[in-house]
Structure 1
Amino acid sequence: MQNVYIEPMPKGQWGPIEGYALEFPDGTRMTQQSFRSERLAVDEIKLRGYAPMVAKVRVTDKTVDEHWQPVA
């Protein structure tokens, strides 16, 4: 099952999180839609048959495993 990353938006360390984007490992967005909560984003990823990964840090890098955790 392919991982899909739930990226907090806007990207970067400043300001509040305004939503969440769904991105594949190569950085392309799964959908242009933005989700207002991580829970909604996780549910959407699971409905599409992918494995959701949520960020453990605010500034993320998909190549660093410590920045992400899988959702069961």
Structure 2
Amino acid sequence: MQNVYIEPMPKGQWGPIDGYALEFHDGTRITQQVYRSERLAVDEIKLRGYSPLLAKVRITDKGVEEHWQAAK
């Protein structure tokens, strides 16, 4: 199963998180929709047959494994 990253939006450290985007490793978005919560994003990704990864830090790097954890 291919991993999909659930990215907090907007990217960066300033301001509140407005939603979550679904992206592949190369940064390509699966959908242009922004989900209001991580739970909604996880449920959507699982319905599409992918394995969701959640950010553990605000400023993420898809190349650093410590920035991500598998969703339950």
TM-score (norm 2): 0.99
Match in the other structure for 2:32: 32
Tell me the distance in 1 between the aligned counterparts of 2:42 and 2:20: 10
Q: In structure 1, what is the Cα distance between the partners aligned to 2:29 and 2:3? A: 12
Figure out how many residues of one structure are paired with residues of the other and give that number: 72
Opposite residue 11 of structure 2, the aligned amino acid is K
CA distance in 1, matches of 2:35, 2:4: 14
The residue type equivalent to 2:4 in the other structure is V
Shift of 1:56: 0.2
What's the C-alpha RMSD, in Å, of the aligned pairs?
0.4
Q: Residue type of the partner of 1:49?
A: G
Task: Provide the rounded CA distance (Å) in 2 between the counterparts of 1:23 and 1:3.
Answer: 9
Shift of 1:71: 1.1
Q: Quick one: percent identity of the two aligned structures?
A: 81
- Counterparts of 1:71 and 1:38 in 2: how far apart (Å)? 9
Equivalence for 2:23? 23
Q: Deviations over 1:4-57 (max 9, x none)?
A: 000000000000000000000110000000000000000000000000000000
Aligned match of 2:64: 64
Name the counterpart of 1:51.
51
Q: Give TM-score scaled by structure 1 length.
A: 0.99
